[in-house]
Amino acid sequence: MSQSDHSAVTGRQIAAARTLLGLGQAELAGAASISVPTLKRMEASPGPAAGMANNVRAVTSALETAGVEFTNGGEPGVKLRRKDQL
């Protein structure tokens, strides 16, 4: 996903990505330098992740750095990048 495309990420994608990586909410919030309640609100969003754009960017960047790829378009989702792509 391009840096400018973070607004298309849904709360469910963030929660799924975090789960794929085996991270707790406190771990991801720490990696993104946001509070746990802020992350919880993002993950609870039924559509695009709720929150300030810089916080959503921080979370998605932390997840991408950890090895997640966000897939958007007609069927949004997440997947782990292959090890040779890390």
Q: What is the pLDDT of residue 46?
A: 86
Count of CB atoms situated within 10 Å of the CB of 67: 16
* 86, pLDDT greater than 70: no
Question: Helices 53-66 & 11-21, crossing angle to 10 degrees?
Answer: 30
Mean pLDDT computed over 56-79: 91
Nearest to 67 by CA among 11, 26, 28: 28
Q: How much is the mean pLDDT over the chain?
A: 88
Q: Residues 36-55: pLDDT tens digits?
A: 999 999 999 988 999 999 99
Q: Residues 12-29: pLDDT tens digits?
A: 999 999 999 999 999 999
Question: At the top level of CATH, which class does the domain 3-80 belong to?
Answer: mainly alpha
Count of CB atoms situated within 10 Å of the CB of 38: 18
Q: What is the pLDDT of residue 10?
A: 93
Q: How far apart are CA 35 and CA 46, in angstroms?
A: 20
